[in-house]
Structure 1
Amino acid sequence: MFPFLYDNLYINVKLPKGTVVFREGDMCEHVAFIVSGVIRVAKIGENGKEVNLYRVCRGESCVLTISSVLSHSPFPATAIVEEDAEAIIVPKDTFATMMATNTQLQTFVYDMMMNRFMAMMQMIEHIVFEKMDKRLIEFLLDRCKKNKTNMIEMTHEHIAIELGTAREVVSRILKQLEREGYVQLARGKVKIVDKERLCDKFATM
């Protein structure tokens, strides 16, 4: 999976769900390459509100960790294990040396940074130029497709974090969708009851 890593330069670690890998302001002592599981990277405000920046999945590494290691600067966000993960850990000094000489690693890092940059640009475009009700419907349909079920088990707060907005905004839109017969709300759950109509509504927005 990571052909540029050598057996004597790293260790494998298991990271249970809920583990805080880095907090904002931490100095990164290593770079992790994800073998399995998911790590969520988020910005948490002083008021406790969160905005998801991205997720690090199988075959990836965290670009903010790499940036922090190479620039000797504190980690600017919070990284939390979202799904039980296994990772290959490379000490920061070893990683810095490899980055200077290993062309395979350089290509991996540059490609990953470009992909992450493009994803962030797309996220900014969604936030700035698209209405929240359209973004919320798109999120519900995408999550429905990904999980292969019409039942989305997420709180309004969790959905708001995913979309980078306030819980009150999400609740207001969901209640309107419920009144119009598109969804059914329950505690910690959103059920799409008329997926075809919801898709039609999204297509005309």
Structure 2
Amino acid sequence: MIEDLQKYYGYLFEEALLKEIADVAIAKDIKANDIIIDIGSYITSIPLLLSGAIKILREDKEGDDLVLYYIEKGDTCAMTLSCCMGETKSKIKAVAETDVRLLMIPKQKMSEWLSKYKSWQEFILHSYHNRLQEFIDAVDTIAFLNMDQRLLKYLKDKALVNHNDIITVTHQQIANDLHTSRVVISRLLKALEKRHKIELHRNQIKLLEL
């Protein structure tokens, strides 16, 4: 475990903190599309990603999801941090976008390390800043972009976190993530293909520009 920590977090944390993380962290391997954190659950630990990507979603009263942002290796989720600190139920859902390997850190260590390690304090503040910016971007996307622009941004974001310009996804899955209907998504994808932005294949979409 210490080798993985040094590989992804060695440039951030001092050796003493890396050793403490290795002593208390629980490693987990999560399969793509599995739920990591569900809405309404109490969070007793915070995740540090070693590999893969996680999408963070918000759920409406009807149970439909909306993608807010992604987190990748070398990162954590500000929403889990705030829930841990406030001992409140989760208001978001975290789902593995790809196969994920992560470390779960007991929540009591979070506040202890904030006062003990400056690098941990900076990491947490940086994570809050990044997630806030991504949340603002998500609000701007919903408020100011047309659905075809939202769809293209969604595809580009998905390609970036998967490090692949070929995206394996169904039209229904996209519709669920963007909180719209499959018919609308299919129509817009056809329009994007005609504009030479994408190529459509069976359950796959190839981005022609990133």
TM-score by length of 2: 0.76
Asked if residue 53 in structure 1 is aligned to residue 68 in structure 2, the reply is yes
Change (3 A) 1:167 1:100: farther
Aligned residue pairs, count: 191
Secondary structure of the residue aligned to 2:62 is coil
172, 189, 192: which is aligned to 2:187? 172
Counterpart in the other structure of 2:164: 147
Bigger drift between 95-104 and 22-31 goes to: 95-104
62, 74, 98: which is aligned to 1:83? 98
Counterpart in the other structure of 1:111: 126
Change (3 A) 1:128 1:85: same
Identity of aligned residues (%): 26
Task: Tell me, in whole angstroms, the C-alpha distance in 2 between the residues paired with 1:85 and 1:68.
Answer: 22
Task: Tell me, in whole angstroms, the C-alpha distance in 2 between the residues paired with 1:153 and 1:42.
Answer: 19
Task: Tell me, in whole angstroms, the C-alpha distance in 1 between the residues paired with 2:159 and 2:86.
Answer: 40
Change (3 A) 1:72 1:165: same
Alignment RMSD:
2.8
Aligned residue type for 2:45: H
Secondary structure of the residue aligned to 1:168 is helix
Change (3 A) 1:143 1:119: closer
Bigger drift between 91-100 and 134-143 goes to: 134-143
User: Where do 5+ consecutive residues of structure 1 fail to align?
Assistant: 200-205
The alpha carbon displacement at 1:10 in A equals 2.2
The alpha carbon displacement at 1:167 in A equals 3.0
Bigger drift between 130-139 and 99-108 goes to: 130-139
Aligned residue type for 2:91: P
Counterpart in the other structure of 2:85: 70
Aligned residue type for 1:119: E
Counterpart in the other structure of 2:204: 189
Bigger radius of gyration among the two: 1
Asked if residue 95 in structure 1 is aligned to residue 110 in structure 2, the reply is yes
Bigger drift between 137-146 and 99-108 goes to: 137-146
User: Where do 5+ consecutive residues of structure 2 fail to align?
Assistant: 1-7
Aligned residue type for 1:124: V
Q: Is the 8 A contact 2:51 2:100 kept in 1?
A: yes
Q: What does the per-residue CA deviation read over 1:117-142, in whole Å, with 9 as the maximum and x for residues that have no partner?
A: 11221222222112222333454566
Asked if residue 121 in structure 1 is aligned to residue 118 in structure 2, the reply is no
Counterpart in the other structure of 2:148: 133
Change (3 A) 1:29 1:144: closer
